[in-house]
A = this chain, B = another copy of it.
Amino acid sequence: MLKRYAFFLAAGLLLGPRARAQTTPPPAEAKPLLGFAPAAAAAEYQLETKFDAQLKAGNLRDWMKRLSAHPHHVGSPYDKENADYMAGLFKSWGYDARIDISYVLFPTPKLRVLELVGPTKYTAVLAEKPVPEDATSGQTAEQLPTYNCFSKDGDVTAELVFVNYGIPKDYEELARRGIDVKGKIVIAKYGGSWRGIKPKVAAEMGAIGCLIYSDPKDDGYGQGDVYPKGPFKPETGAQRGSVLDMPTYPGDPLTPGYGSTKNAKRLDYRKAPTITQIPVLPISYGDAQPLLAALAGPMAPADWRGALPIPYHLGPGPARVHLQLAFNWKTEPVYNVIATLQGSQYPEEWIMRGNHHDAWVNGASDPLSGLVAELEEARALGELVKAGWRPKRTVMFCAWDGEEPGLLGSTEWAETNAKDIQKHVVAYLNTDNSDRGFLGVAGSHTLEKFFNQVGRDVQDPEKNVSIIERRKSLDLVSGSPEAQKDARDRPDLRIGALGAGSDYSPYLQHLGIPSLNVGFGGEGAGGEYHSIFDSFDDFTRFKDPTFAYGVALAQTMGRCTLRLADADVLPFEFQNLSNTVAKYGTEVKALAETMRTDTEKQAKLLADKRFDQVANPDQPLLPPKAQEAVPYLNFAPLDNALAKLEQSAQAYAQARRGPNKLSDDRKKELDQLLYQAEQQLLSTEGLPRRPWYRHQLYAPGYYTGYGVKTLPGIREAVEERKWAEADEQIRRTGAAIERFAGQVNRAAAVAGPAPAQ
């Protein structure tokens, strides 16, 4: 909208005074709104203006202060207190609110010992030091100690090895330096992957223990002044966090694929496949420095080195470390708050909006920054209802518990209610921690155009442009060449794809529910994540002091909810999806091609002994391992499916340009075809070695965790050089895309014949 206005203005200046009379911005109702007829769009805009008028930053602030007043992790008194409080709020706003309880495994530390036993001695402190400038940091008795949730118990002593981020390619570098971690304890930096990947890969490589520390280069003094002078991690700060193997399946490790109801059959926790194979503990850089300083052996590669004032050696040893961990393996209730506002016209179609409420400690940013926006959205909707409005479709507000240990609340709720969800849920709209700056949005590309219209209508609180336009500016100024090109040439912002990291996972990747995850960031960096310093004091000093972005988030997500709830026809669109999936196709083909030429190049270098000739005799560097040549894969099933997807998307777009007079029954039929289309992208078998993940377009990487893999079956097979599997996955992914295209064609048929040209 702003761009078009600017265009008119410029044209006016060129044409002189008379023409300038035409430069008044077009009335708001002229903006097209996907799924709304023009008149309905005008009404919708009026509604949104009323909605915006309700939003009050002070409410966000008050709730954040209230909800973060005490640590509120799973099993804590304040976790339940918060759930009850929110249920009460929802009820007071006119919602039908309840608390759904699941019973999940939630281990907490009984014993944590970490010592350097040789050649020098050091006993790790393993405690974050409260600061007087932070009102809640001293609630030591209520805080969970620093630990990684779902580490196994263990008592190990061994030489230490520094493994950088502890991802597979780091071990390739170690192998080239003749270093094997078998029987050793590894120390990895946070970053480079989701934390749970580090102990998983370390165990695969034969390590017997794993430490994870936050290097000051990444979120300590290497980034800026440390807390409380600045927002970055002080010497004693440590990042708690789950190490559950969520890329295999999230949720209670004892009930894979089904709900953790009170009497559900449970695995023995000692046999649960998603609990780590080795003990793992997060530590501060204050505790890490003496350990790292005691290492000898080769220097770590230059880009592995952090900001501690020591040479970063790899080991192994002579540093020897004793790590002893024991946990209370208790089952705890998790309290999911579910608040419902019944739809007036299509009550069977549910719009779900969610954010978790549990935290590792006080959790002002994570998760309350997103949750308080959600609460304000719910309250504002309640006010609209009081003023006479009703949503056409049912709206549900969810506050999940147990996200931090492994999406426990949302996953168990999704598994318990899977059938209803697949039958009724139109879309799942998630937020989590959010601060200040740039829009971040990822999700189903069937909602991309819809979301672009939402973002076009929300103003950035700091700049005189929409949140979409500001994000495009970021891409143009500092994006990758690809992002720059998109921002220049593509009308819509290309939204990201979802991996893992918050509660959308079970809805999108297990059940095929179209999902979005939205937040703001880039101007609120700090080192407080999952520490005692993620507090109200920290948030209001360094994150979003005025809650202006919290309000912008409520405007954004509120619009998503309102438009999905009230659209004449659900605002799904498939050409943007088709464009993006075609891009994924190009990427996986390029990946195979690059691997082929790289493999050939490396084979030649190996045959010519080039690596031997380069190696420094004083710092041995073995040649990389020889790799099998990359065969040509049959991408035809994918290419054929992409062609069909494109045709179907076009057909649907054309049908929707028609006169659009559908009976209520046909609208219902069309809606259902639309919102269940994404389910066609699930495969019954799921992904190789992790059947819980069924979506063929998006999954968290098996070896990256949070990081998404698009076309995951194909991409990971290629990356892992499993050629037969790659061929099989190309067929399976192609079939899913064809099923999806079929459903879109059916939707096109229901939407009506194409208009005469």
Distance A474 CA – B611 CA, assembled complex (angstroms): 8
Question: In the bound complex, do residue B616 and residue A437 qualify as a contact, i.e. CB atoms below 8 Å apart?
Answer: yes
Q: How far in angstroms is the closest Cβ of chain B from A661?
A: 41
Question: In the bound complex, do residue A470 and residue B311 qualify as a contact, i.e. CB atoms below 8 Å apart?
Answer: no
* Interface membership of A99, Cβ < 8 A: no
B307, B474, B610, B619: the one contacting A473 at CB < 8 Å is B610
* Interface membership of A476, Cβ < 8 A: yes
Distance A469 CA – B610 CA, assembled complex (angstroms): 9
Question: In the bound complex, do residue B311 and residue A473 qualify as a contact, i.e. CB atoms below 8 Å apart?
Answer: no
CB-CB < 8 A to A75: which residues of B? none
Question: In the bound complex, do residue B224 and residue A299 qualify as a contact, i.e. CB atoms below 8 Å apart?
Answer: yes
What is the 8 Å Cβ interface bit string for chain A, positions 616-654, against chain B (1 contact, 0 not)? 111100000000000000000000000000000000000
Question: In the bound complex, do residue B311 and residue A309 qualify as a contact, i.e. CB atoms below 8 Å apart?
Answer: no
Q: Which of A574-629 contact B (CB under 8 A)?
A: 605, 608, 610-614, 616-619
Q: Which residue of B lies closest to A465 (CB)?
A: B613
Q: How far in angstroms is the closest Cβ of chain B from A627?
A: 16
Distance A221 CA – B558 CA, assembled complex (angstroms): 53
B469, B612, B616: the one contacting A523 at CB < 8 Å is B616
CB-CB < 8 A to A477: which residues of B? 605, 610-611, 614
CB-CB < 8 A to A84: which residues of B? none
Distance A733 CA – B611 CA, assembled complex (angstroms): 41
What is the 8 Å Cβ interface bit string for chain A, positions 660-680, against chain B (1 contact, 0 not)? 000000000000000000000
CB-CB < 8 A to A478: which residues of B? 614
CB-CB < 8 A to A437: which residues of B? 616
* Interface membership of A43, Cβ < 8 A: no
CB-CB < 8 A to A216: which residues of B? 309
What is the 8 Å Cβ interface bit string for chain A, positions 453-486, against chain B (1 contact, 0 not)? 0000000101101000110011011100000000
CB-CB < 8 A to A225: which residues of B? 311
What is the 8 Å Cβ interface bit string for chain A, positions 496-524, against chain B (1 contact, 0 not)? 00000000000000000000000000110
Q: Which residue of B lies closest to A477 (CB)?
A: B614
* Interface membership of A205, Cβ < 8 A: no
Distance A477 CA – B610 CA, assembled complex (angstroms): 7
Given A230-B311, A476-B605, A605-B476: A617 and B223 interface contact (C-beta under 8 Å): no
Distance A108 CA – B226 CA, assembled complex (angstroms): 43
Distance A310 CA – B522 CA, assembled complex (angstroms): 22
Q: Which of A190-233 contact B (CB under 8 A)?
A: 216, 221-226, 230, 232
Interface size on A, residues (CB 8 A): 41
Question: In the bound complex, do residue B613 and residue A224 qualify as a contact, i.e. CB atoms below 8 Å apart?
Answer: no
Q: How far in angstroms is the closest Cβ of chain B from A228?
A: 14
CB-CB < 8 A to A311: which residues of B? 221-226, 230, 232
Q: Which residue of B lies closest to A3 (CB)?
A: B608
* Interface membership of A308, Cβ < 8 A: yes
Distance A305 CA – B463 CA, assembled complex (angstroms): 30
What is the 8 Å Cβ interface bit string for chain A, positions 309-324, against chain B (1 contact, 0 not)? 1110000000000000
Given A309-B308, A311-B230: A299 and B614 interface contact (C-beta under 8 Å): no
Question: In the bound complex, do residue B463 and residue A613 qualify as a contact, i.e. CB atoms below 8 Å apart?
Answer: yes
Distance A605 CA – B613 CA, assembled complex (angstroms): 48
Distance A727 CA – B522 CA, assembled complex (angstroms): 45
Question: In the bound complex, do residue A463 and residue B307 qualify as a contact, i.e. CB atoms below 8 Å apart?
Answer: no
B223, B469, B608, B616: the one contacting A613 at CB < 8 Å is B469
Distance A522 CA – B614 CA, assembled complex (angstroms): 10
Q: Which residue of B lies closest to A611 (CB)?
A: B477
CB-CB < 8 A to A618: which residues of B? 523
Question: In the bound complex, do residue A470 and residue B613 qualify as a contact, i.e. CB atoms below 8 Å apart?
Answer: yes
Distance A225 CA – B297 CA, assembled complex (angstroms): 11
Q: How far in angstroms is the closest Cβ of chain B from A227?
A: 12
Chain A positions within 8 Å of B, measured between CB atoms, are 216, 221-226, 230, 232, 299, 305, 307-311, 437, 460, 462-463, 465, 469-470, 473-474, 476-478, 522-523, 605, 608, 610-614, 616-619
> What would be 24 A-B contacts, judged by CB atoms less than 8 Å apart?
A221-B309, A221-B310, A222-B305, A222-B311, A223-B299, A223-B311, A224-B311, A305-B307, A307-B307, A309-B309, A465-B613, A470-B613, A473-B608, A473-B611, A474-B614, A476-B610, A477-B610, A477-B611, A478-B614, A522-B616, A523-B616, A523-B617, A523-B618, A523-B619
Q: A460-B613, A463-B612, A465-B613 are in contact. List 8 more A-B contacts (CB 8 A).
A: A221-B309, A225-B311, A226-B311, A307-B307, A307-B309, A476-B608, A477-B605, A523-B616
The 6 closest A-B pairs by CB, nearest first: A473-B613, A473-B610, A309-B309, A523-B616, A221-B311, A477-B614
